[in-house]
Amino acid sequence: MACGGKERMKAGLESLIESGRVLTEPEELVTYAYDATEHRCLPEAVLRPVSEEEVVRIVRYAAEEGIAVTARGAGTSLSGCAVPCEGGIVIDMNLMGRIKAVDEANRLATVEPGVVYGRLNEELSSRGLFFPPDPGSGSVCTIGGMVSTNASGIRAVKYGTTRDYVQKLRVVTGSGEVVELGSLAPKSSNGYDLIGLFVGSEGTLGVVTEITLRLKKRPTSFAAASVSFGSMEEAGRAVGRIIARGLDPSVLELMDEATLRVVKLYQDIDVEGRAVLLMEMDGFTEEAVKERLEEAVRICTGTGAVEVKRASTESERTALWRARRAAFPSLARYRPTLVLEDVTVPISRLPEMLAEIERISGAHGIEIATFGHAGDGNLHPTMLVDSRNKAEMEQAKEAMDDLFRSALALGGTLTGEHGIGLSKKAYSRLEHGGAIEVMEQIKKVFDPKGIMNPGKGF
Ligand SMILES: Cc1cc2nc3c(=O)[nH]c(=O)nc-3n(C[C@H](O)[C@H](O)[C@H](O)COP(=O)(O)OP(=O)(O)OC[C@H]3O[C@@H](n4cnc5c(N)ncnc54)[C@H](O)[C@@H]3O)c2cc1C
């Protein structure tokens, strides 16, 4: 933007909110140019509103001026969806971080979008309640970001994704109108599911300014174990049988040999095998959860498990989850670049998907470490590469193409939780076909000027 234009824009923005919360200096903007992917793009300005009213003013100004707007939480997106790829304004939602109300009688919490997931659950724990999705980034990511990506995590196998917990939303559409979506009633047959449209829309329809979440009663009893298998396919088959038996695990995570090998370089963990399942049952009586765990263990033994380690104390259980949570950070330390995917397939097709990943790794000569939420069919095949090596990146791109096509051929989806953003945009049509045109029409209704996080999703 020319110098005069920049000055004019700055003056315009400073008329909307306090000037101290309008950032335009390059050294301030640079921290908003990225997320947890390789994508980078500098915004022209960052605005830090403290209220919905300020968000309305910003969006109306942007709509009048035709300026792109990207809402931002903690910037931990793994798809590039938080990167302002067309410059413009970033709306940093972190100052809107109030927990407005916790309604224990109806098990609801109303929060501003900048509330961090972990902080909300800390607040809820003394009341015996929790908001379950539990993404790996939960100590920093915001509820607004979770809603906009339909985030989930290791507990999705039992508790579902963010989508399952959004009771009500307040949003500012791309034309600056405030719309309230949903009600406080436990159920409703009235009208289109507009909350459903907003959840996972990656900020392309508007800015979420208030969220009312359904909560769950926090379980009091847990039983966990790690089970080693001779192959990923066997582990995949065991997952299918545990789910089909209706044992309702709260965690059913898979780690392959490559992931375990790398985690062990950095963590002292007592887990090994060609493939390891980490599982947990939760509930409200010790006997019942132990019984379910033992039945799952019997299924694993009957499916070729070679070793079972039960985590009977709280500290043993914590050690298990430490191993799993260390997967991503350990892989990130091991190679300069990770291409972390999150293809998701029907549970019954998991063994085939795991075999496909092995084939793809060999066929394209790319080291792939796989871990993930096997219990809901969501895998994280992670290509361990170096973005400075052009030939290797080209091979990784081909491997990714192969991976996406395999997942779709098995009836799956490109992304179980990270979203499409910039990273998978080129493949969106492959999954949605003609439904892309429907999505384009929907976007026009909420965002007629096309300013909301343009260039993302499709
Ligand atoms: C180490 C690590 C582990 C992770 N583990 C998981 C995991 O287990 N499961 C999982 O699902 N994800 C995971 N993620 C990805 C990411 O953390 C989640 O997608 C998270 O929900 C993003 O929240 P955020 O606050 O960082 O949002 P951001 O990254 O800032 O934004 C994400 C998207 O939401 C939009 N957005 C943000 N706030 C608003 C708002 N108020 N209104 C409208 N749009 C908005 C942005 O425009 C963007 O499109 C992980 C990331 C990292 C780095």
Residue 182: give its domain's CATH number: 3.30.465.10
User: Does 164 share its domain with 208?
Assistant: yes
38: in domain:
yes
Domain that holds residue 260: 221-409
Is 417 touching ligand 1 by the criterion CB < 6 Å?
yes
Write the Ramachandran bin of 170: left for phi over 0, alpha for psi from -120 to 50, otherwise beta: beta
The residue from 62, 94, 126 where one domain ends is: 94
- pLDDT value of residue 1: 58
- pLDDT value of residue 22: 98
User: Does 226 share its domain with 116?
Assistant: no
- pLDDT value of residue 269: 80
Residue nearest to atom 2 of ligand 1 (CA): 137
Residues 124 and 224 sit within 8 Å (Cβ to Cβ): no
Give dist(CA 134, CA 119) in Å, integer: 12
Residue nearest to atom 23 of ligand 1 (CA): 145
Is 145 touching ligand 1 by the criterion CB < 6 Å?
yes
Q: Could you tell me the two tokens for 279? A: 């599982």
* 136 CA to centre of ligand 1 in angstroms: 10
User: Does 228 share its domain with 370?
Assistant: yes
* 141 CA to centre of ligand 1 in angstroms: 6
| Amino acid at position 433, single letter | G
| Amino acid at position 44, single letter | E
User: Does 385 share its domain with 328?
Assistant: yes
Tell me the best of 52, 59, 77 to mutate to test the pocket of ligand 1, counting ligand atoms within 8 Å of each CB and taking the most.
77
Residue 444 main-chain phi, psi, to 5 deg: -65, -30
Dihedral of CA 154/156/159/163: which sign? Answer: positive
User: Does 251 share its domain with 391?
Assistant: yes
Is 203 touching ligand 1 by the criterion CB < 6 Å?
yes
> What distance lies between CA 246 and its chain's CA centroid?
25
433: in domain:
no
Q: Could you tell me the two tokens for 128? A: 């015996």
455: in domain:
no
- pLDDT value of residue 9: 87
Is 328 touching ligand 1 by the criterion CB < 6 Å?
yes
423: in domain:
no
89: in domain:
yes
Give strand ranges (E) for 112-198: 129-130, 166-173, 178-182
- pLDDT value of residue 404: 97
Intervals of the chain under pLDDT 70: 1-4
430: in domain:
no
- Counting other chains too, the contacts that 190-197 makes at CB distance below 8 Å and 24 or more residues apart are 195/166, 195/168, 195/169, 196/163, 197/442
429: in domain:
no
User: Does 185 share its domain with 235?
Assistant: no
Residue pLDDT, tens place only, 191-235 = 999 999 999 999 999 999 999 999 999 999 999 999 999 999 999
User: Does 161 share its domain with 267?
Assistant: no
Residue nearest to atom 27 of ligand 1 (CA): 145
The number of the ligand 1 atom at minimal distance from the alpha carbon of 82 is: 48
The number of the ligand 1 atom at minimal distance from the alpha carbon of 373 is: 8
User: Does 266 share its domain with 204?
Assistant: no
User: Does 164 share its domain with 247?
Assistant: no
Domain count, the chain: 3
The residue from 185, 217, 249 where one domain ends is: 217
User: Does 296 share its domain with 265?
Assistant: yes
Tell me the best of 78, 162, 178 to mutate to test the pocket of ligand 1, counting ligand atoms within 8 Å of each CB and taking the most.
78
278: in domain:
yes
- pLDDT value of residue 4: 66
User: Does 274 share its domain with 403?
Assistant: yes
* 414 CA to centre of ligand 1 in angstroms: 17
Write the Ramachandran bin of 304: left for phi over 0, alpha for psi from -120 to 50, otherwise beta: left
Is 52 touching ligand 1 by the criterion CB < 6 Å?
no
Residue 287: give its domain's CATH number: 3.40.462.10
Residue nearest to atom 19 of ligand 1 (CA): 77
Residue 71: give its domain's CATH number: 3.30.43.10
Residue pLDDT, tens place only, 228-242 = 999 999 999 999 999
Is 202 touching ligand 1 by the criterion CB < 6 Å?
yes
User: Does 53 share its domain with 106?
Assistant: no
Q: What is the ipTM of this complex?
A: 0.99
Residues 93 and 73 sit within 8 Å (Cβ to Cβ): yes
